[in-house]
Amino acid sequence: MTRQIASTIPVLASLDIDASIAFYAERLGFAAAARHDGYAIVRRDGCEIHFWLCSERRIAENTSCYVRVADAQKLYEEFSRKGVRMQPPVIQPWGMKECHVIDPHGNLLKFGEDLPERSSSAA
């Protein structure tokens, strides 16, 4: 059977496209990939995030995405060095080591590292 769905890409609300690009580039290590009127794309390590211009902060504050990562601790340390205020990663009961960032517009980004030994023993 041919695979029909290749990937998912979050599209997050941005109150200011330039500010979103700057935060994701300077603090989270993404690179700007495209910029259009009211729309932007950033990429890092195979991850892509899109932004659409939105005038209602409540929309961004009620939006989130989950990003799987290879090493949550290393990412936490990198982001912390770049001035991102966040809590250290926590091992969750569902077998993921997670940390999170809230961007300047209120979007929640959860970063999760799969811990196979924990998730398989929980089954």
CATH number at residue 92: 3.10.180.10
* pLDDT on residue 121: 47
* pLDDT on residue 120: 45
Is residue 5, in this structure, part of any structural domain at all?
no
Return d(Cα 38, Cα 88) in angstroms, integer. 34
Structural domains in the chain (count)? 1
* pLDDT on residue 112: 97
Is residue 2, in this structure, part of any structural domain at all?
no
**In terms of residue numbers, what domain contains 60?**
11-122
Return d(Cα 43, Cα 122) in angstroms, integer. 33
* pLDDT on residue 6: 86
Burial class (CB in 10 A: 0-12, 13-18, 19+), 119: middle
Can you point out the beta strands (E) in the chain? Answer: 11-14, 31-36, 39-44, 47-53, 64-69, 90-91, 96-102, 108-114
What are the pLDDT digits (tens) for 77-109? Answer: 999 999 999 999 999 999 999 999 999 999 999
* pLDDT on residue 118: 52
Q: Which residues of the chain have pLDDT under 50?
A: 119-123
